[in-house]
Amino acid sequence: MPVYSLYFALFWVLFTVSPVLAGNSQHIIEQISHDLEQTTDLQAKSSLHIYRARQYAKINKFELALEDYNDALELTHKGWIHLERSHLLLAAGKYELAYEDANAAKEEVPTLTREADKVIEKAVAEVRRQYEAENPISIVMDSKVNPYRKTRFDLMKKQGVGMFAASSQRRANSAAGKHKAVTRQTTSKCAPKARS
């Protein structure tokens, strides 16, 4: 009989906690909000704000999550909270703020440098990508193209100087070699062999 009561108790616990275990973020947020109202300990309040911010981030309510991270930082100022907030800001698309928060985390807690550098790298890459998308590289020609215009590269190629010197020298050598071979063949064909 005690085995059945143990199974029944286990079933009852899983049944009552199943919304939380299933990832029902709204239910979890309500529970955390209730706990926030009742607690007076500043460290516990800070932790609860962080937990609620994580749940808000899971359901893409970034503004509410940001408010909770700000409240947590006001209660207990710690570098790892800056790092978590920088991840949130990166996901929300606020790359400049994510960059600033990651730098703050690096300054306050040097052991977070590697993780903060990853956030900084992603933020800088996204800002650069946005800038390049808004300001594409383009060449504007405001005059007609002159097909008879000669550039310095055309002249260098013709004279065989600079970077064109080696290739023009090879062409000249190979042409001279062919000419010598042709003349040797012709002379040998033209001269009659002496009969003995």
Write out pLDDT tens, residues 4-30: 454 444 444 444 554 555 458 889 999
Query: What are the tokens at 156?
Result: 């260098």
Residue 59 has pLDDT above 80, yes or no: yes
Residue 54: CA count within 13 A, CB half-sphere? 11
- pLDDT, position 57: 92
Distance CA 143, CA 30 (A): 67
- pLDDT, position 3: 46
Q: How confident is the model at residue 137 (pLDDT cuts 50, 70, 90)?
A: confident
Q: What is the mean pLDDT of residues 38-49?
A: 90
- pLDDT, position 124: 95
Neighbour tally for 140: CB within 10 Å: 4
Cα three-residue angle 26-32-35, rounded to 5 degrees: 145
Residue 44 has pLDDT above 50, yes or no: yes
Average pLDDT for the chain: 79
Q: Pick from 79, 28, 64, 71: which is nearest to 46 by CA? A: 71
From the number of C-beta atoms within 10 Å of its C-beta (0-12, 13-18, 19+), residue 86 rates as buried
pTM to 2 decimals?
0.58
Percentage, residues of the chain above pLDDT 70: 70
Measured in whole angstroms, the distance separating CA 139 from the mean position of its chain's CA atoms is 27
Residue 46 has pLDDT above 70, yes or no: yes
